[in-house]
Amino acid sequence: MVQIQENIEKLTRELKYRNYSPKTIKVYTNCLKYFLQKIKTDILNLSAWNNLLIESERWWKLTTTL
């Protein structure tokens, strides 16, 4: 649970740095918390997440151009 909280805090700091609204920060952090609790894993393997995001972006482009 400590690692989940650390990730939530990292996300919160990054979103504040980028001037996201407090409501957006709350929604994003709640979604991340829910997700991490469901998969019960930590987001430390950034290359795996990067690959997932790239694949998601490719999928999104494919589905929006149909």
CA atoms within 13 A on the CB side of 55: 6
Amino acid at 19: N
In the chain, domain spans: 2-64
The closest of 14, 39, 49, 46 to 28, measured between CA atoms, is 14
Query: For each of the chain's 66 residues, which pLDDT tens digit applies?
Result: 667 788 889 889 999 999 999 999 999 888 888 887 777 655 555 566 666 677 777 766 666 655
The reported pLDDT for the residue numbered 19 is 92
Please check whether residue 12 is in contact with residue 29, taking contact to mean a CB–CB distance below 8 angstroms. yes
The reported pLDDT for the residue numbered 23 is 93
Residue 19's region, left for phi above 0, alpha for psi from -120 to 50, else beta, is: left
3-state secondary structure of 44: coil
The reported pLDDT for the residue numbered 32 is 84
> Is the pTM value of this prediction over 0.85?
no
